[in-house]
Amino acid sequence: MPLKLFVLLGCALLLAGCEVLFVANTLVGCAMRPEMEILPRELPVARAGEPYRVRIEVVDTSSPLSGIHVDPGQPLPAGLTLEHAERAAHGVIAGTPLTPGLYSLRIYAGSYGTQCVGKKVERSYRLEVLVAD
């Protein structure tokens, strides 16, 4: 085998090995990321007609968040909204709830992908809105 062909074949094998090693490291790194979690685990009780504010935090994010949202099928009570600044790891439920009751809602969030695919997380809550004193 001529020397040039041998050198060319050797370089090709080395480069292929680097790519395989990079892909393997990326796959292992992506698989080892912790699962994201939405906190708090429970929402504090609210009172109708009184201001309400609670911070919603997404922990164990490996990249910035693309959004924190409320499922339209299980929305917040009238008078409350969820505010989130893109890329931030937290949002805020704020406002003044209007009607007493027990509300089921779901909040979900997603992160941007980098070398790894973005992740998603959701949490279901029960929010009790009491009659004001």
The tens digit of pLDDT for each residue in 75-100 reads: 999 999 999 998 899 999 999 999 99
- Same structural domain for residues 112 and 57? yes
Domain of 114: which CATH number?
A: 2.60.40.60
**pLDDT tens digits for 3-30?**
665 555 555 555 555 444 444 444 456 7
Both 10 and 70 in one domain: the answer is no
Helix, strand or coil for residue 63?
coil
Going by pLDDT thresholds of 50, 70 and 90, the confidence category of residue 118 is confident
Question: The domain containing residue 23 runs over which residues?
Answer: 1-32
25, 59: one domain: no
Mark whether 24 and 60 lie in a shared domain: no
User: What is the distance, to the nearest Å, from the Cα of residue 83 to the centroid of all Cα atoms in its chain?
Assistant: 15
If asked whether residues 75 and 45 sit together in one domain, one would say yes
DSSP, collapsed to helix, strand or coil, labels residue 90 as: strand
Six-digit token string for 35: 């699962």
In order of 76, 96, 99, the CA distances from 130 in angstroms are: 15, 12, 8
CA distance linking residue 121 with residue 68, whole number of Å = 10
Same structural domain, 98 and 124? yes
- Provide the number of structural domains found in the chain: 2
